[in-house]
Amino acid sequence: MASVAILIGAAIVNAVAFTVSNAVYDKFGRTDGSVEQARHNVATEQLESAREEWNQKRLDILDFINQKLREKSDARNTFDDVDKALEFYNETHPDKQLQLDKQPTLEDFYRPSNEQKYYESVIVMIMSGAVGYIAYTYFMR
């Protein structure tokens, strides 16, 4: 029972530390963050359009594979998963190896500036230390 309480307490302390550190960083950061926020917003929009394009390509490949498998009477079921369909198609038709591009992620479009990383790290360390000290002082007596 005590281990469950410690686990829940640690989760709460962790959540509080990161939430408070993020709020403090937003409040007392060196800049207002508008440039970083604008870069992040543009990157998020680019990610969304890339994901839509990737999903469309994924559906096109799935449709192509299902059509080819039906044409050759190899299809017994309609595939729901592209990875499974690609694997099966490549096994049954080794002459054409189809590959799906990797799924786009936010890191493909946006990298936080060094200043952003530095201030996030500093705030996280300070707030984690403070919350850890408070937790140790009041809960470990």
Domain residue spans of the chain: 1-30+112-141, 41-109
Tell me the per-residue pLDDT of 103-137, one tens digit each, with 9 for 90 and over: 788 888 888 888 888 988 989 999 999 888 988 88
Task: Report the 10 Å Cβ neighbour count for 50.
Answer: 16
Cβ-contact 61, 100 below 8 angstroms: yes
CA distance 52 to 67: 22
Tell me the per-residue pLDDT of 37-74, one tens digit each, with 9 for 90 and over: 888 889 999 999 999 999 999 889 888 888 877 776 55
Cα dihedral: 10, 11, 13, 15 (round 10): 160
pLDDT at site 75: 46
Phi, psi of 47 (to 5 degrees): -65, -45
The model scores a pTM over 0.75 = no
CA distance 36 to 110: 10
Cβ-contact 106, 44 below 8 angstroms: yes
CA distances from 67 to 11, 42, 59 (A): 49, 37, 12
Whether the predicted pLDDT of 80 surpasses 70: no
pLDDT at site 52: 94
Which residue has 């990383």 as its token pair?
117
pLDDT at site 32: 66
Q: Which residue has the higher pLDDT, 99 or 19?
A: 19
Cβ-contact 124, 24 below 8 angstroms: no
Whether the predicted pLDDT of 91 surpasses 70: yes
What DSSP state is assigned to residue 101?
Answer: P
